[in-house]
Amino acid sequence: MQVFQSAALFDSLNVRENVGFLLYENSKLSEERIGELVTETLAAVGLKGVEERMPSELSGGMKKRVALARSIINDDTKETIEPEALLYDEPTAGLDPIASTVVEDLIRSMHVTGKDAMGKPGKIASYAVVTHQHSTIRRAVDRLLFLHEGKIVWEGMTEEFTTSTNPIVQQFASGSLDGPIRYF
């Protein structure tokens, strides 16, 4: 499952229908149960009471969190958990620092070793995050692969990121204009 950088919501569906889309289409859950799961999942991403809104009535950050909710909702009656892995493409881009923290903590909590926002055991076996946000790097991931010009130039654990001796990583971590990364 992928969470797109742009929310990629269905414009003709309200938030409830967007978040519950796969459950409505592929599960045997009642509409009432799907509605409950949608409400719980929206609460987990910091959105309450928006189920009947249309995507055009949402801010960019709200759309992003609705898309995240759509990607993590699951049929709690199934033996297997879906999705088993998630790819997040800039999940906090355009979000304010508080909304970013909600999303980052939710990403972390859904991993199988943690507990999700509702206190249940995490369900996602693995995830990858594409980001340039320092807070997301610090809060949501353990291991980093740093890409520059399409190549891996550094890899390591999150705590090693700010102490790397790699000049490209140092420049990115510090935000310096001086270094191997040039802007014209």
Domains belonging to the chain, first-starting first, are: 2-130 (3.40.50.300), 142-184 (no CATH)
> In the prediction, which pLDDT does 124 show?
64
Model pLDDT, residue 126: 78
Q: What pLDDT is stored for residue 57 in this prediction?
A: 95
Read off the DSSP letter of residue 121: B
Question: What interhelical angle do 60-72 and 97-109 show, nearest 10?
Answer: 10
pTM of the model: 0.70
- CA 91 to chain CA mean position, Å: 5
Give, for all 184 residues of the chain, the pLDDT tens digit.
545 555 679 899 999 999 999 899 888 899 999 999 999 999 988 899 999 999 999 988 788 889 888 888 877 776 555 556 778 888 888 888 988 898 888 888 776 555 555 566 566 667 889 998 999 999 999 899 999 999 999 999 999 988 999 999 999 989 899 999 887 7
What sign has the CA pseudo-torsion 44, 48, 32, 12? negative
What is the secondary structure of 124-172 as a DSSP string?
A: BSEEEEE---HHHHHHH-SEEEEEETTEEEEEEEHHHHTT---HHHHHH
